[in-house]
Structure 1
Amino acid sequence: MRRGNGFGIVACWLVLTIAPALAQESKLEVGNGERLLVLAPHPDDESLSSAGLIQRVFAKGGSVRAVVVTSGDAYVDAVKMDTGKSRLSPADYLAFGEKRLDESRRAAQILGGSFLHLDLMGFSDGAIYAALVSHWRRNSPFRSRFTGFDHVPYRDSLDWGNAQDGKDLVGELVAIMKETQPTIISFPDVMEDDSDHAGLGMFALLAVHEWRAQTQNERSNPKMLAYLVHWPHWPKGSDWGIAQDWSNEPMHLPDNLPARGHRRVCLDLTQAEIAGKHDAIAQYLTQQRIMADFLASFVRSSECFTQLAPTNANRIETVIEHWQQARKAFNSHPLDRRKI
């Protein structure tokens, strides 16, 4: 997670948008023995979005797998603060990425200990969206201008040495879904105001579409929960400059987030789950130093999501069709993500 980069994503889900009436929130039900898969673009997004949900699934006898795709190694201001340097080298970015990956490991220990299956893929910061729109094939991988690598450089990561390309990322997510057989998937909303977040939202839809096409059984119809981390001036207090205690206030998705015909669902957290989320987020020291106000604003008495209906295959297929049509013009026209 880093501060939103101002893209104001509308992305492919424009095809699903309906009249912008305020969406009603309903209670998120978590059953016994759920298999939760959390997809996070950067270290800390898994906790900001889903720490309460993770704990609830464990409490009800379920299993959790969290996949963190990038190392978050290119947050320039945070690297400068961490190193005390004004001029940074590739080694500085790589060392910062290692720290962030380790922060996710420590947070996972708090949320689930050895029972939480954590996959750190180790992609470069910025690789997700780049792989989606212009580095789809293995022979044309994304090269980070910060670290200089076009493959995953972190030795302890799941994908060390692999090319940073879109086709392989989709394939890996599909393989994870086949292995995990999730009943719930928590993933970034494609409306996110951050390129890697929105990009991973699209990759999640592509992977679910492919998984369902390959399996065609009830186990490939998970409850799909799209979370939001980056949206202008949201949550309340996220840009106040000083961390506040919001733990007694519920989370609400922003009123100006298009409902797109989907449900909004919220999970009311217990005091123990709130405390667990607080403690997990406290592990991300590199982020606490530069945006403590933002992190604190997610420690609330509930977590909220936009719930898609995966059994309505036409919707996901329509999104993917529009995205594929848009991709054809990526090489010949500047990309305006608002029009995807």
Structure 2
Amino acid sequence: MTRLSAPRRSRLWTGAVVLALAALAAWINLPLVSRVFDRSSARVAALPAATPFRAGQRVLMLSPHPDDETLCCAGMIQQAQAAGAQVSIAWMTAGDGFEFDAALTERTLRPGPQNMRALGDTRVGEARRAAAVLGVPAQRTYMLGYPDGGLFRLFTTNFTVPYTAPRTRADAVYVTGALTPDAPFTGQALEADLTRVLDRVQPDVVLAPAPQDFHTDHHTLSYIALQLMSRRHQADRLRYWVVHGGLEWPVPKGLHEALPLTVPPLANRLPWTRVDLTPEQRGRKLEAVRAYRTQTEIEPRFMEAFVRANELLSPEPLPTAGPAADAPPE
């Protein structure tokens, strides 16, 4: 009997694991599987409705990257404005760290720093178009333009010393239309910019990523928002959402407008509230999602999976009861 060499056995095992994971992902993403096996749909139906927005409120959306504001909260943004609230959006980064994205948009196999910076400017334009689709005027949008994938560095080791982003090779804000052009990539500068936005908007409600969101930029922004709002004695004005909520979430992938957006596994124990969307609000949300062509060309099924019958919002950043209530996110 012929024995397989060790390298060949390793390749076969790797192939088998990849196929098994692909099959599992495909099975999980079947709408029928979601309906039959996922009891969280019933849980969402039983959630309390979120506190409605009011006329005269000032609502500030803090978005780590261009598209997060739309994925999590496009319906809420529409509802706030319909109620007579004033909505502003602040993007922390230009989303310029995704090399595969730059390879496609810039049509190059090896995107260099200039290609990555061009991607950043492209995504800034997409962000402004998506905001316009949702009815947020340009004068109430703020592009801060700090490094995609670098917010934790700014929050920790590069609070005062400028950080050089590995993909753009930039160490200062370069994107067109930034709030503070040429601001150094430091946590100090980011906090100063975000404080300027807070001073200008004077928000009654701040929509921010939850600490449990898996993406490093997202949960770092959560920490920064909590810190700044606590200094203002306004931490109770924060409301929390999740975009990166766990393996394969949200399921099923693709456009399923009639299905609920279920509770994200990584933030399963937050005190979630439900924001129901009308068909018209879902349609406008889908239009805003598709304004992000750089993203929908690469991961359309993930992007469109957020266009659901509802959105989710938590009034608290941590579980309010239970033995692990104060445990940090894994």
TM range (shorter): 0.7 to 0.9
Which of 216, 219, 234 is the matching residue for 1:198? 219
**Corresponding residue of 2:99:** 76
**Corresponding residue of 1:286:** 294
**Corresponding residue of 1:62:** 85
In the aligned structure 1, how far is the partner of 2:240 from the partner of 2:217?
14
Cα deviation for residue 177 of structure 1 reads 2.0
Instruction: Note closer, same or farther for the CA distance 1:67–1:306 as it changes in structure 2 (3 Å cut).
Output: same
In the aligned structure 2, how far is the partner of 1:228 from the partner of 1:197?
9
Q: Deviations over 1:237-275 (max 9, x none)?
A: 33xxxxx3211112122245242xx52111101111111
Cα deviation for residue 307 of structure 1 reads 1.4
Letter in 1 for 2:286: H
In the aligned structure 1, how far is the partner of 2:175 from the partner of 2:267?
36
Which of 141, 144, 148 is the matching residue for 2:169? 148
Instruction: Note closer, same or farther for the CA distance 1:309–1:199 as it changes in structure 2 (3 Å cut).
Output: closer
Report if the CA contact (8 A) 2:240-2:313 is conserved: yes
In the aligned structure 2, how far is the partner of 1:227 from the partner of 1:280?
18
Greater relative contact order structure (CA < 8 Å, 6+ sep): 1
**Corresponding residue of 1:251:** 261
Report if the CA contact (8 A) 2:171-2:185 is conserved: yes
**Corresponding residue of 1:305:** 313
**Corresponding residue of 1:229:** 243
Residue identity over aligned pairs, in percent, reads 25
Letter in 2 for 1:186: L
Letter in 2 for 1:278: L
**Corresponding residue of 2:127:** 104
SS in 2 for 1:112: coil
Cα deviation for residue 81 of structure 1 reads 1.7
SS in 2 for 1:226: strand
Letter in 1 for 2:284: G
Q: Which runs of 5+ in 1 are unaligned?
A: 1-21, 213-219, 239-243, 313-318, 324-336
Highest CA radius of gyration, 1 or 2? 2
Letter in 2 for 1:225: R
Which of 265, 272, 281 is the matching residue for 2:280? 272
Instruction: Note closer, same or farther for the CA distance 1:269–1:223 as it changes in structure 2 (3 Å cut).
Output: farther
Q: Does 1:207 align with 2:232?
A: no
Letter in 2 for 1:224: L
Q: Deviations over 1:124-175 (max 9, x none)?
A: 21221211121111xx111111111111011321121001111232233233
In the aligned structure 2, how far is the partner of 1:68 from the partner of 1:26?
29
Cα deviation for residue 281 of structure 1 reads 0.6
**How does 1:40-55 map onto structure 2 within 5 Å?**
40-55=63-78
In the aligned structure 2, how far is the partner of 1:169 from the partner of 1:157?
12
Give TM-score, length-normalised by structure 2: 0.79
**Structure 1 outlier segments of 4+, above 6 Å:** none
Report if the CA contact (8 A) 1:109-1:116 is conserved: no
Report if the CA contact (8 A) 2:210-2:317 is conserved: no
How many matched pairs? 279
Q: Which runs of 5+ in 2 are unaligned?
A: 1-42, 321-325
Report if the CA contact (8 A) 2:249-2:264 is conserved: yes
Cα deviation for residue 186 of structure 1 reads 0.8
SS in 2 for 1:145: coil
In the aligned structure 2, how far is the partner of 1:109 from the partner of 1:28?
25
Which of 154, 173, 182 is the matching residue for 1:161? 182
In the aligned structure 1, how far is the partner of 2:47 from the partner of 2:219?
22
In the aligned structure 1, how far is the partner of 2:139 from the partner of 2:306?
21
In the aligned structure 2, how far is the partner of 1:256 from the partner of 1:74?
24
In the aligned structure 2, how far is the partner of 1:309 from the partner of 1:98?
32
In the aligned structure 2, how far is the partner of 1:192 from the partner of 1:159?
27
Instruction: Note closer, same or farther for the CA distance 1:201–1:113 as it changes in structure 2 (3 Å cut).
Output: closer
Cα deviation for residue 84 of structure 1 reads 2.5
In the aligned structure 2, how far is the partner of 1:97 from the partner of 1:255?
31
Give TM-score, length-normalised by structure 1: 0.76
Report if the CA contact (8 A) 2:180-2:193 is conserved: no
Instruction: Note closer, same or farther for the CA distance 1:263–1:92 as it changes in structure 2 (3 Å cut).
Output: same
